[in-house]
Chains A and B, each alone.
Chain A
Amino acid sequence: MRGLLSLIFAASALLSVLNHEFQENFTALTNARVVTITQGVIENGTVLMEGDRIVAIGTDVEVPAGARIIDCTGMTVYPGMIDSGTQMGLVEVGSLSETRDNTELGTLSPQMKALTAVNPNGVAIPVTRVNGVTTVLTEPSGGMLPGQAALINLHGYTPSQMFAGFEGISMQFPATGRRGRFDQRTDEQVQEATEKALKLLNDTWNSAELHSRIDSTYQARPESGRKPAYVPSMEALRPVVRGQQALVISVNAARDILAAIEWVKERGLRNVIFTGLSEGWRVADQIAEAGIPCLVGPVLSVPTRPSDRFDKAYRNAALMHAAGVKIAIRSGETANARNLPYNAGFAVAYGLPYEEALRAVTINPAEIFGVDDRLGSLEAGKEATLFIADGDPFETSTTIHHVFIGGYQISMESRHTQLYEEFLNRSPGLENRDGP
């Protein structure tokens, strides 16, 4: 059956219809510069893949007879980049509500699963992966607990094929100040709204903890206890309350970050990730002390206050890293998540060490999401999710020549390349114009 499938896939490739070719046997990337991330850079090395896995990396790898060989002379192999914050697959056309599945009604809906609504055929998916971004966190939004973010690989015909092994409960931490220049509320109104939001958060968490305790009691003695009432949002929060699932808290303003750190401490939560962190640099020491990993970005952003230096958003990741915060970089994008490497590049231009920027889009997010056993670096045993470039992937002019996701060689076509092919030398050009 596999053989037949391979044949079909191979035929498709020849027809240029679809060449997501599954490498059933061995594929060897030879004469390559290999940036493993976790085990240094190997010059003139070989990466050997079998099926969906990397099986060997080094300078003395024996390539089995019959293996497909891609000569990577002059090329570098990198692990696929991971974007730690997008709405990939959930939002197709930003302004059209019918094409947006990122927001459900209500402010407390942690039971909503982003993975359910991921459209594997979203047109941005091929556009993103041909730039070397192979894996993204796709997040629900709206309200305080909008649902569960999912880590997905950008290849597959079903959401479950795309699922990359992490789901976290998203939380928008209450913003405790004004929302910007146009926020005309009085001090009292701001204070009132803040208290109300924090009360809602704490009431919700008290309930979730209580619900979890009732459940624990029931589980311990099912014959005598009573089942906890069916409250889907509470059931969804149960693994978070118990530290079994990550809580991904979106928080940006400095005072809100501090409040969130305090709240996490008070609640005794250990499995917490922060995301956003526009003003992370302002309170970087406190974040580092709290030991909470951070998904930072977008880097390509303006400062949060008119009084801040023009480059503060560019420097944010560098300043947080310098303070000792573990960071991953997120684009905050969907259609242009392909610009993740440029967010990393700008962070480097403004102070983040290059090696750390590479880690921030590979092994760091893999570790933060607990999938470093399969993604985030080039190591034997990990998934064959990688790309081959003719230079530094952060540099704008670099071209990516091949992408593999879970052993599948990905077509380098996307809507953008297809339109280029069709229209660079359009035919007919100016002929045949006999309109009204």
Chain B
Amino acid sequence: MKRLIAFLCLYALMAGSMRAQTPTGDVLVRNATVLTVTQGTLESTDILVRDGIIAAVGENLSAPSDVPVIEASGHYVMPGIIDAHSHIGISNVNESSAPVTAQVSVGDVLNPYSISIYRALAGGVTTSHVMHGSANVIGGQNETIKHRWGIIDPEELRMAGAPRTIKFALGENPTRVHGRGTGKRPASRMGVEYVLRETLTKAQRYQEEWNRYEQEVRTNPRAVSPAYNGQLEVMSDILNGDILINCHSYRADEILMLMDVLKDFGIQHITFQHVNEGFKIAPELAEFGAYASIFADWWAYKFEVYYSTAYNAAILTRNGVLTSINSDSGELNRHLYHEAAKSQKYGGLSDDEALALITINPARQLGIDERVGSIEVGKDGDLAIFDRHPLSVYAVNRHTIVDGIPYFNADRDADDMRLAVDPESRIDTVILHDHHDDHLCLHEGELDLYDFLTNH
């Protein structure tokens, strides 16, 4: 804690004198079993991180004396875990005022003080894909963040250079919130397809108008431009492939529908989120090149996940679908390593395949695999160090390192790790956690604050 405070003071000083630079660090991890994920398992191996980047992986590495050393003999180092679906560290989740809200972004409401970031870090998670909720067919844009706990400039939470992504949602949530909630389309899966096609067609027309104008203005300086439309600008970027779609979806039929729509509009990159019935259409997903980001075993919390199987990860993987396991929850995200291990019980994935579900696979889905998701020279120094193999239920995370900086150290972890305390808050407010609160809960017919917050 002291160390963190010292670091914060130093950071504040730095921030005062210049534009904040994302801090990076040096660290030498010694004598660990290194689970690289992409290049096998290395015994008694060192990892040297310089300026936030993995500089060397090998035996008996040397480093200048001022580089901090973590003795990891008997411990297991894995790449920092990547949660492909999260809602931590943001002040709002759903802009549920309309079925299409492409123009908004959760990146505008990042909250670096959220203790859930630290709790995720304690579970070895270094990167989260923080998503808009699932109230709308086309929801807001998401943000890929790194868990730089202690940094209070929201800008510095962002993983700079990560591709832009956006949330889509099919099925029960958008039809409940809009069709059955406020009487706006869609009220059915037919309406969901219609909203998608209508919006994408409008975006095509918008592009055409601007193209026509840009042609015309070359010869006619008095040409009048089309009206600027923030929503269609974003939709246009989707058509151009500049924003990656991440679509909340459960049922096989609606997933097939979206792939058909995307084919018609020439969009190739899609990650289906949750995709509980992905196993039913694994060949189609593989043929399209669609990705799947799933729960390990959550099911039966609503009708569209009644026909689920915990073997989803195995079926998808064996059919050639790039698959990740995500949390969608401030509870599950602290033990994604355990969630990944369930793919071994349910379908017998290998250690590397299971670990890939929470490292390199989500990295590929998010377009950040050049930088994170495996332990390789040149990648970001994002590491989690466990006292046992992380696929064991008994594994406990000891260190989480982001950009070469150890943000979590189990030996120095204090009870109260909040960055700021509201002087008016009560110390005795108890937040009782229902397992389902984070991502599943649906209160029939009501659309209260709680519902919006949990309507992911």
Q: Which residues of A contact B (CB under 8 A)?
A: 92-97, 123-124, 177-183, 252-255, 278-279, 298, 300-311, 313, 332-336, 338-339, 342, 345-346, 348-350, 394-399, 415-417, 419-420, 423-424, 426, 429-430
Contact = CB atoms under 8 A, between A and B. Distances in A.
B344 A180 contact: no
3 nearest A-B pairs in the assembled complex, by CB-CB distance: A345-B393, A335-B300, A420-B311
B430 A416 contact: no
Given A94-B442, A415-B307, A419-B309, A310 B435 contact: no
Contact of A397 (B301, B311, B344, B441): B344
A399 B345 contact: yes
B308 interface: yes
Contacts of B342: 396
Contacts of A94: 300-302, 436, 440-442
* Majority SS at the chain B contact face: loop
B270 interface: no
Contact of B444 (A97, A301, A430): A97
A416 B315 CA distance: 12
A395 B280 contact: no
Contacts of A181: 429, 431
B294 to A, nearest CB: 14
B352 interface: no
A301 B331 CA distance: 6
A301 B427 CA distance: 20
B347 interface: yes
B142 to A, nearest CB: 22
B344 A93 contact: no
B301 A95 contact: yes
B50 to A, nearest CB: 29
A350 B119 CA distance: 15
B331 A348 contact: no
Nearest to B347: A420
Contacts of A309: 413-417
A359 B399 CA distance: 32
* Majority SS at the chain A contact face: loop
A31 to B, nearest CB: 24
A396 B432 contact: no
B415 A307 contact: yes
Contacts of B330: 302
Contacts of A342: 338, 393
B272 interface: no
Contacts of B426: 178
B331 A93 contact: no
Given A182-B450, A416-B311, A96 B302 contact: yes
Contacts of A349: 393-396
Interface in B405-456: 413-418, 426-433, 435-436, 440-442, 444, 449-450
Contacts of A308: 415-416
B427 A348 contact: no
Interface stretch (B57-65, B98-106, B282-290, B357-365): B282-290
A93 B302 contact: yes
B122 A92 contact: no
Contacts of A255: 428
Contacts of A303: 119
A260 to B, nearest CB: 14
B428 to A, nearest CB: 6
Given A94-B436, A300-B331, 20 more contacts: A94-B300, A94-B440, A94-B441, A177-B428, A178-B426, A181-B429, A278-B432, A302-B433, A309-B416, A335-B300, A342-B393, A348-B393, A349-B394, A349-B396, A350-B396, A396-B391, A397-B341, A416-B311, A416-B346, A430-B284
A152 B124 CA distance: 38
Nearest to A394: B393
Contact of A302 (B119, B172, B301, B450): B119
Interface of B: 115, 118-119, 122-123, 172, 279-280, 282-284, 287, 297-303, 306-311, 314-315, 318, 330-331, 334-335, 338, 341-342, 344-347, 391-396, 413-418, 426-433, 435-436, 440-442, 444, 449-450
Nearest to A350: B396
B392 A395 contact: yes
B256 to A, nearest CB: 9
B435 A95 contact: no
B310 A416 contact: yes
Contacts of B308: 415-416, 419
A301 B393 contact: no
A124 B300 contact: yes
A416 B297 CA distance: 10
Nearest to A308: B415
Most chain A beta-carbon contacts within 10 A, residue among B427, B432, B444 = B432
Contacts of B115: 306
Most chain B beta-carbon contacts within 10 A, residue among A279, A417, A420 = A420
Nearest to B329: A302
A420 B314 contact: yes
Nearest to B427: A307
Contacts of B119: 302-303, 310
Contacts of B299: 335-336
Nearest to B310: A416
Nearest to A99: B303
A303 B116 CA distance: 10
5 contacts: A334-B300, A336-B299, A345-B394, A419-B308, A430-B283
A396 B338 contact: yes
A122 B23 CA distance: 53
A132 B98 CA distance: 46
Given A95-B301, A426-B282, A416 B309 contact: yes
Contact of A396 (B282, B303, B345, B435): B345
A396 B392 contact: yes
B309 A420 contact: yes
A423 B307 CA distance: 12
A178 B284 CA distance: 50
Contacts of B335: 300, 346
Contacts of B428: 177, 253, 255
Contacts of B440: 94
B397 to A, nearest CB: 10
